[in-house]
Amino acid sequence: MIITGARAPRPSAARRTGPVWPSLAAGLAATVVAVAGSWRVSQSSDELATLSAARRSAAGLWELAQHVDGHFLPYYAFMHLWAGFGQAEWWLRLPSAIATGAAAALIAGLGRRLHSPAAGVAAAAIYVFLPSVSHHGQNVRPYAFAAAAAVLAAWALHRAIEEPGRRGGRWGYAAAVALLGCTQVFALLVLAAHVLAMTLYGRGALARMLPALALGCVPGAVWTVVGFAERHAIRWIDMPGPAVFLALPRTAGGTIPAGCVLLALAAAPLLLRTRRAHGLWPTLLAAWALLPPVLLFALSHLLSPVYVDRYLFATVPAYALLAGLALASMPHLLAALALAGALAAGLPGQLDLRREDGHRESFPRAVRIISANALPGDAIVYGGSWLRTGMLYYGGRGLPDDVLLLDADPRPVSFDYPERADVSAALDGRERVWALWRGPAGAALRIGRLDPLVQRFTRSRTWHAGRSPGMTVALYTR
């Protein structure tokens, strides 16, 4: 076993200051892979929430943050500036793709520091192959940024501990932790592994680095308090059971085959003695991968349900780094076969997420269905008023009459739109009404606002847009 409390041997100067081009190449490759096909995939409801926030004025964004998603304010503020230059799917997703590239470059650099240049390149390649990485690299949400910041914080910690004489090491680490806390608050759970590493390293590392960690956590603590005050926004999350840990392969890899290969490779450095990277650093990687799910599970049961798979995406680089250590310690032929197996396991998922419904919902299909079958005088109602953002994004103003809409702008304090309460009166004189809601066809019976439609009209035709749960498009006639 390699997990010991002994101080790890300091890496050679050549390995610390090796060529940067492999890291840059890995980052560029990861960005290209993430961008590829990003213009074909329909935006999801979460991505449309980002778009809704980004379209508001600075004052409107501040008003929104005081009621919902306040902990995402740094990301929303950045996307507010970014969306000013364009709102095409690929452009809105480009920052996440760039963040994915930054994470891959940092993984390559950290793998080089922990083991060898080959380990860094192999870890970055594994990271790029994962469907989960491409998904978040094509997602207009902050999770790709959280993963990149998590790698940067681990890289800064390693440099500060292994090279204590380097100027500004501790403050660089504090800045990296501060950035991590501004991306996504649950990404801060990876810091539990940092505390463990400081404790095991010895020779005053904990006393020297803990103040920097505490200083860096200040912004994250602020956003955590903000998020806790707005926890009503995540009341849809169910209480997790022990079965969530069985889903870790899918959580980490994006698909079960990719995740199983990833976890098998990641476990190898902890079971087999590698040539280098002995001591605490593999322990740090293992703790980085495994402690956040346990802590998120505990928080769900102690405070409020918060366990969602995507909140754990910042742990995925740790699995990739462990896999890179394993590949670099194998004979070249065996490592090449293992890397090819990882690519083969991830390829179906990579192709699948680039379909139009790769993010589960398909607003373009819903628009096409209605546009092809609508008649003059038709009306449209929504099972959730926020669905308008997606329909207007893909369908413009060429949709049926929106009889419930009171204002074209979303409410200042949410992503919903102001609507008429008298649905029955709004439908008077209409012979055909289109309805759109999230979920299967039977979900209409659980949406109170659709009761007048269901009671007074007959559903004549139904379509499903996207994969489960997806969305339902239905045509009602008198």
Dump the DSSP string for 40-84.
TSPPPHHHHHHHHHHTS-HHHHHHHHTTS-GGGHHHHHHHHHHGG
Kindly write down the DSSP assignment for every residue of 193-220, as one continuous string: HHHHHHHHH-TTHHHHHHHHHHHHHHHH
Q: Which amino acid is at 409?
A: D
- Contact predicate 300/306, CB 8 Å: yes
Give 355's DSSP letter.
S
Distance (Å, rounded) from C-alpha 400 to C-alpha 70? 34
Pair of tokens at residue 96: 């996440």
**pLDDT of amino acid 60:** 95
CA angle 73, 34, 157 (to 5 degrees): 60
Q: Measure Cα distances from 346 to 28, 157, 210, 252, 308 in Å.
A: 19, 31, 39, 12, 22
Longest pairwise C-alpha distance within the chain: 80
Taking the model in full, what pTM does it have? Answer: 0.92
**pLDDT of amino acid 12:** 42
**Under 8 Å CB-to-CB from 165, ≥6 apart: which residues?**
none
- Contact predicate 156/172, CB 8 Å: yes
SS3 402: strand
**pLDDT of amino acid 385:** 92
Distance (Å, rounded) from C-alpha 402 to C-alpha 395? 13
Nearest by Cα to 9 from 161, 212, 192, 190: 161
**pLDDT of amino acid 387:** 94
**pLDDT of amino acid 232:** 85
**pLDDT of amino acid 1:** 30
Mean pLDDT (10-residue bins), the chain, 478 residues = 40 54 92 95 95 96 94 96 96 98 97 92 95 97 98 95 81 96 96 92 83 95 93 88 94 95 87 54 90 96 94 97 92 92 94 94 94 93 93 88 94 94 91 92 81 90 90 93
**pLDDT of amino acid 363:** 95
SS3 183: coil
| Residue ranges per structural domain of the chain | 13-352, 363-477
| Burial tier of 356 (Cβ tally within 10 Å: 0-12, 13-18, 19+) | middle
Distance (Å, rounded) from C-alpha 149 to C-alpha 106? 9
Pairing assessment for the beta strands 432-438 and 379-382 based on DSSP bridges: parallel
Burial pattern 372-397, b for ≥16 Cβ within 10 A else e, equals eebeeebbbbbbbbbbbbbbbbbbee
